[in-house]
Structure 1
Amino acid sequence: MGKYQIIATAAMGLEALVAKEVRALGYECEVENGKVIFEGDESAIARANLWLRTADRIKIKVGEFKAYTFDELFEKTKALPWEKYIPEDAEFPVIGKSVKSKLFSVSDCQAIVKKAVVESLKQHYKRNGWFEETGALYRIEVALLKDVATITIDASGHGLHKRGYRIDQGEAPLKETLAAALVMLTNWAPERPFIDPFCGSGTIPIEAAMIGQNIAPGFNREFVSEGWGWIPEKVWDNARIEAEDLANYDQPIDITGTDIDHRMVNIATENAFEAGFGDLISFKQMQVKDITTKKEYGVIVGNPPYGERLGDKKAVEHMYKEMGQAFEKLDTWSVYIMTSNEQFEQFYGKPATKKRKLFNGFIRTDLYQYWGKKPPRNHNE
């Protein structure tokens, strides 16, 4: 088994959650802006892809160095041990980005890294001509930040938010990784009731169900690194067997999603069936002001409309007010609402216990947290 530097990339504000997940898999890690770095063998690559709910993708770090000139970028890239990763028939496109660096032309950096990798592989495989690139995909990225080049290979393929259960979605779908983060930032446990009053295509309830039953989010999809010859098939088989063994399909869950739009309720129901929770999550068409329940000590997680468009602002603010009135009656429940509306607490009618800054795509939002009463010790026994 080899040892690899592995990077789990993360959306702004979610790095600490990703780090917590990496540690839960048994790996020590370091946290930087937008990424969590850890060391592991081939099975760590497979397990991270299968299990990390809040990371964007898994990358293998090939090298990192300072590069002020194109010559330096070429020579230092060429000196990296490419033969350890890239077979002779590999397809290896290069993508790039550059922030606050002297080498700011991304297309030039990509071309130079590609040329350097080709030269390195030519020496190793003793070839004169060009490579055919008909085999497995190894997507290389050169990322320059303040003149430091980090060179990685993407081990996920499609981003980790693509779990494979979303048949359809609404206009502004919430990323599955962020939906999972919203659930993980609450005090919810699978024995407690859970409601999403703005369920849209059902992403938050489905992610909650996967967390509740400890189902690996990547269990029903494929990853590009499954095609890499240097990760034995057995490694992936073992990682999937582990995920199957750890899933707790018998864990009862009480999860409800509601939405004002009946079309979204139908889409959410289909997506839940696709995810294997068809009979476990209930979806209903309902306005937030009509939500009532006799159940206690539950958790509400919602990503309501923000009123970003001018015409919607008044209606959305009125809805926040109705929401505050409806939820006031649920005094044992904890409520977590994510919105970019800075006056949310005013309309909702009370200050949050705690606020946490998050980004929904490029929109800066806050997660407003209202903590309900703690359940009595013997509540679920």
Structure 2
Amino acid sequence: MKEYKLIATAASGIEALVGRELKDLGIPCEVENGRAIFHGDLETIGKANLWLRTADRIKIVIGEFEAITFESLFDQVKELPWEDFLPMDAEFPVSGKSIKSTLFSVSDCQALTKKAIVNRLSDYYSRYGRLPETGAKFPIEIALLKDKVTITLDTTGSSLFKRGYRLEKGGAPLKENMAAAIISLTTWRNNRPFYDPVCGSGTFCIEAALMGRNIAPGLQRDFLFEDWPWVDDSIMLELRKEAKAAINHEVELDILGTDIDHKMIEIAKENAKAAGVADDISFKQMQLKDFTTTKEYGVIVANPPYGERLGEEEEARKIYRQMGKVYKKLDTWSVYVLTSDLHFETYYNSKATKKRKLYNGAIRTDLFQYWGKRPPRVKREEA
């Protein structure tokens, strides 16, 4: 089976998590800003799409070269083996971006790329004039960075954060892959309590349940490359079969999501049901300040309303104050709060153990981390 150079794209700040996931799948990779680079065949492409929780897309690298003139760009694009990827009736929209490059006009780069591909395919298929573009979709991107051109083919389709379970969402939803990334940055394991006090549509809790049961995040959706005529259907059939067999049905999860809005609780329940993890999560309407527990060594993950997103800034800071008072008593619990308010620690009334800069879409946020006491080590029985 043919091997390709591949890219898994990711939000800034979480590319290392994507790299870790790939390595856990047995796929060697190199991590760069906003992406992980690896090599593999169609099975590798399917496995990455199916299993990566924190990535955005999986792309095939069609070509890489330097170009500072439009003539050079056209000629080098035309030299690429497009007939190996695009059938005569392929629909191939071309998107683009240019950063710090001589060829700064994105629209011109896109148009020339499209024209070069059409010329190549017209010659190959002995068809002149417009190509039909009535078949499967092959989204192409031309990206220029400091005069280096990278041309890629998207295998994913709708971004990987679209798992397929979110039937409804709240007013300020967190993308599923970002939620999974944040959980990956915590100390949570599937044998410890997990709690989201402002759960909204339930994304944190659902992603934790999927991780806790080892359910592939892409198990309920399709991927664009499956429609390509040169991709054998048996590849994804086998990968999905293996993914279903890998689900951990034995573990007992302790996951709680609460929200002051009863409508959001109902939405969260429906989303959990759609994800197949409704029995693993308890959703309750409850005010944050009313939370009490006798459990130990749990993990709290929260994405409270930012002042600029939902409600006024002072209302958001009132929530931070409540968190500080309630969670101060839970010395064995670890707390992780995502917010764009850089003064969060002042209102929480405690300095974070660690902070990590992340981006929720275009919004700069920080993950404030408060680490609780570690569980005691289990002594090994003497032989």
TM-score, scaled to structure 2: 0.97
1:46 corresponds to: 46
Is 2:107 aligned against 1:107? yes
Distance apart, 1:311 and its partner CA: 6.5
Q: Distance in 2 between matches of 1:263 and 1:71?
A: 58
Q: Distance in 2 between matches of 1:113 and 1:197?
A: 49
Count of equivalent residues: 380
1:127 corresponds to: 127
Residue by residue over 1:62-87, the C-alpha shift from the partner in whole angstroms, topping out at 9 and shown as x without a partner, is 01111111111100000111111111
Is 2:222 aligned against 1:227? no
Give SS of 1:257's match.
strand
Q: How does 1:192-271 map to 2 (within 5 A)?
A: 192-271=192-271
Once the two structures are overlaid, the 10-residue window that deviates more, 69-78 or 97-106, is 97-106
1:299 corresponds to: 299
Is 2:33 aligned against 1:33? yes
Unaligned runs of 5+ in 1: none
2:314 corresponds to: 314
Residue by residue over 1:308-352, the C-alpha shift from the partner in whole angstroms, topping out at 9 and shown as x without a partner, is 269711222122111111001111111111111111111111111
Give SS of 2:109's match.
helix
Is 2:351 aligned against 1:351? yes
Moved over 4 A (4+): none
Q: How does 1:28-177 map to 2 (within 5 A)?
A: 28-177=28-177
Is 2:282 aligned against 1:282? yes
Residue by residue over 1:113-171, the C-alpha shift from the partner in whole angstroms, topping out at 9 and shown as x without a partner, is 01111111122222223211111110111111111111001100000000000110111
Q: Distance in 2 between matches of 1:258 and 1:82?
A: 52
Q: Distance in 2 between matches of 1:127 and 1:318?
A: 67
The residue type equivalent to 2:189 in the other structure is A
Change (3 A) 1:207 1:71: same
Unaligned runs of 5+ in 2: none
Is 2:193 aligned against 1:190? no
The residue type equivalent to 1:195 in the other structure is Y
Give SS of 2:312's match.
helix
Distance apart, 1:91 and its partner CA: 0.9
The residue type equivalent to 1:79 in the other structure is E
Give SS of 1:279's match.
helix
The residue type equivalent to 2:5 in the other structure is Q
Q: Distance in 2 between matches of 1:113 and 1:294?
A: 62
Q: Share of identical aligned residues, percent?
A: 60
Change (3 A) 1:255 1:177: same
The residue type equivalent to 1:273 in the other structure is K
Q: Distance in 1 between matches of 2:314 and 2:108?
A: 49
Change (3 A) 1:311 1:25: closer
Change (3 A) 1:360 1:204: same
Contact 2:196-2:258 within 8 A present in 1 as well: yes
Q: Distance in 1 between matches of 2:310 and 2:298?
A: 34
Give SS of 1:153's match.
strand
Q: Distance in 2 between matches of 1:189 and 1:69?
A: 53
2:10 corresponds to: 10
The residue type equivalent to 1:190 in the other structure is N
Q: Distance in 2 between matches of 1:196 and 1:310?
A: 18
Contact 2:340-2:364 within 8 A present in 1 as well: yes
1:365 corresponds to: 365
Residue by residue over 1:183-227, the C-alpha shift from the partner in whole angstroms, topping out at 9 and shown as x without a partner, is 111111101010011111000100000000011000000111001
Contact 2:172-2:310 within 8 A present in 1 as well: no
Q: Distance in 2 between matches of 1:146 and 1:22?
A: 28
Give SS of 2:279's match.
coil
Q: Distance in 1 between matches of 2:309 and 2:234?
A: 51
Distance apart, 1:307 and its partner CA: 1.5
Q: Distance in 1 between matches of 2:311 and 2:229?
A: 55
Q: Distance in 1 between matches of 2:225 and 2:134?
A: 16
The residue type equivalent to 1:348 in the other structure is Y
The residue type equivalent to 2:352 in the other structure is A
1:331 corresponds to: 331
Once the two structures are overlaid, the 10-residue window that deviates more, 168-177 or 122-131, is 122-131
TM-score, scaled to structure 1: 0.97
